[in-house]
Amino acid sequence: MRHIWAGAVLILVVAACGGDSITLTEYNSQGSALVLVMEERLLALDVEWDANEPTVERARSYWDRRIEARVETLEGLQELETPQELADLMGEGLDLFAQLTSAEKSLAVRVSSYDTVTGPAEWWSTPEGLAVLALDEEINEYCLVVQARYDATIERIVLSDVPWIPSEMKEIVQVDIGCRE
């Protein structure tokens, strides 16, 4: 089953939510926790799908639960407070994840309309599935931008001993959010 980058997609969205009272590290930690829960749910769905005989009803249930996981994660990410330094990425990141969720909802509607059993190969080759895959590519480009923003914090090491610089301007975050090169 194509996972569509559950981890990378959401961790990059973690770099794009709203507010200014937590550190980059705290923000990444909270967002990563949301991502982990969603990844586990999606993986469990994929394993369950692969382990059982495909049926029309199972396909519908799979997509209902997949969309539920996406929506709950999107809502959780929207509730996070964003450090000021990432605020400029807020709109784009949430918009991309919302678009992905919407595209998967459209794919779920398509799959639910089938009267015969289909599987992942058929799902991803539909126009709706191809739209999801296109968003996956766009999200990877965004992921690289967010990773660069995190990587830029490493340059702050020279400021770590300067007492008059605010702590949020000295914070270093080393994280690999899993972008494709």
- 133 pLDDT band (50/70/90 cuts)? very high
Q: Is 175 inside a domain boundary?
A: no
DSSP annotation of 158 reads: G
Q: Is 180 inside a domain boundary?
A: no
Cα separation, 108 vs 156, in Å, equals 45
CA distances from 95 to 1, 64, 140, 165 (A): 25, 21, 14, 33
**Cut 0.85: pTM above it:** no
- List the domain range (segments joined by +) for residue 153: 6-169
Number of domains in the chain: 1
Q: Is 41 inside a domain boundary?
A: yes
> How far does the chain reach from its first CA to its final CA, in angstroms?
21
DSSP H helical ranges for the chain:
6-14, 24-51, 56-79, 90-112, 120-124, 127-152
The confidence score (pLDDT) of residue 148 equals 81
Q: Is 87 inside a domain boundary?
A: yes
Q: Is 37 inside a domain boundary?
A: yes
Maximum CA extent, the chain: 67
